[in-house]
Amino acid sequence: MKTTTIRMEDSKFDRIDSMAKSLNRSRTWVINQAIERFLTYEEWFVHEVETGLDEMRTGKLATQEEVKAGFKKWGVNAD
């Protein structure tokens, strides 16, 4: 495990300490959880964007008619 130092606004620091106290956890635990959640989401998002771009490059896109049919299924007029 490595150690790092960061600068943050006092208000964020206070919020972290407040959350740690309410969860009966350490400040380090709260920060690590926040970083883990951020990384998990951002990695998922990048993967989804790359997948969508790959589909676009290979022509795997829905036609206008398919999109309209999909909206119509939910009662939305896409015209």
Phi, psi angles (nearest 5°) of residue 61: -115, 150
> What DSSP designation does 63 have?
-
- Note the pTM of the prediction, 2 decimals: 0.74
Which amino acid is present at 24? Answer: N
The overall average pLDDT reported for the chain is 94
What pLDDT, on a 0 to 100 scale, did the predictor assign at position 79? 80
pLDDT surpassing 80 at residue 78: no
Angle value at C-alpha 43, between 12 and 52, nearest 5 degrees:
130
Residue-wise pLDDT for 26-63, tens only, equals 999 999 999 999 999 999 999 999 999 999 999 999 99
Helix (H/G/I), strand (E/B), else coil: 2: coil
What pLDDT, on a 0 to 100 scale, did the predictor assign at position 44? 98
What pLDDT, on a 0 to 100 scale, did the predictor assign at position 77? 84
